[in-house]
Amino acid sequence: MKLTSGLGGQLTVDLGALARNWRALDKVSQGALTAAVVKADAYGTGIEMAATALYAAGARFFFVATPDEGSAVRTSLPEAHIFVLDGLYPGAANFYIRQNLMPVISSMEMLEEWLAKCVERNEGYPSAFHFDTGMNRLGFRLNESVAVRERISRLGYAPQMVMSHLACADVPNHEKNRTQLALFSSVLNQFPGIPASLANSAGLMTGRDYHFQMVRPGIALYGGRAVIGRKNPMANVVTLHAPILQVREARTGETVGYGAAYSLSRDSRLAVIGHGYADGFQRSLSSNNTRPGGKVFVRGKLCPILGKISMDLTIVDITELGPDIPKPGEGVEIFGPNISVDDQADVAGTIGYEMLTSLKGRYSRNYVGNGYLQE
């Protein structure tokens, strides 16, 4: 592939695939509203473009992490319903109200500040309540559910939604899933008639018991693997190409990269790629003579990374291409339809989420599939 920018790597985001993924998940979640999680710059794809495509596909409810992310979505989608997962930042209630953002309230302190603002303005501004059912992250403790209900009952306030988050949904048979489901159901007894949400991407795929009134897919929208041990059914959304800067010949016994970590056991042809850990390509994808590293896709073949990944450069063995020698400026696929983000993540010892949200490197962005309104 010849890169079109001529200035470095190229990140291609297929908005049509993003829209198709949302529609596919919406079919699975029949009877429940399908929201879209667009935090962390829509998992590295660009929050404004991704949110607009998802809205066109049919999404009306969006989840962000921070109020500034919510503001970015609001600018693009004035009619969207936007929840802020981090909750109410202290002293920021007026900002949420101006931007029509709904905090996901997770503590008594947050609740009191939000209710005080509602009383001050004589307006029941919407929010969601988050209860911790087993992660020990954000969330009211389970034993606070009665106190929360009694507090809002005195003011006649009701949340838009009650929610929690699954810790082990990527392993569908994990016993903690059923435990959290039971604990969440017990919380809901305190809030009759209030819509509920528990399922992320993996929870959505695990079973309808977890769907309630709204599901909140994230990673699956962007083509990432949500469930461990299953074939990923989602369409590829993100493709990253990086340019070959130089092709060079190297001899048996010569070493490659920093620390002389890889010693060549044969005469080799190497391609030096303009892409490194400063571009979000994890250094843990490096290799040595006892540990294989990651691979990239070059001219129809997977080619291994040799030695340590540098800040700006990665060295790849292209010997197996034979006489089919790529030229400087040609792009190699870092991940995409031929080598998935999860393939790279598995080798790096991380998850596709981290690979995608690390996409802040030195490359141009290219959006395709703008006909996402079409089925």
Residues with a catalytic annotation lie at: 39, 258
CA distances from 230 to 170, 210, 234, 235 (A): 10, 19, 11, 15
Separation of first and last alpha carbons in the chain: 28
Task: Fill in the DSSP letter of residue 303.
Answer: E
What backbone phi and psi angles, to 5 degrees, belong to 111?
-60, -45
**Token pair for 164:** 């929690």
- Separation CA 99–CA 34 (nearest Å): 22
Question: What are the tokens at 355?
Answer: 């690979």
Evaluate whether 355 touches 280 at the Cβ level (below 8 Å). Answer: yes
Which residue type, as a one-letter code, is found at position 77?
A: L
The one-letter amino acid code at 143 reads N
Question: In whole angstroms, what is the distance from residue 250 CA to residue 233 CA?
Answer: 41
Residue 4 near residue 357 (C-beta atoms within 8 A):
no
Alpha-carbon span 47 to 368, nearest angstrom: 15
What is the DSSP code (8-state) at residue 197? Answer: E
In DSSP terms, which residues pair with 304 in a beta bridge?
295
- How far apart, in whole angstroms, are the C-alpha atoms of residue 29 and residue 17? 18
113 CB-side CA count, 13 A: 18
Give whole-number Cα distances, 178 to 160, 215, 219, 326, in Å.
25, 17, 22, 52
Q: What is the DSSP letter of 235?
A: P
* 363 φ, ψ (degrees, to nearest 5): -150, 160
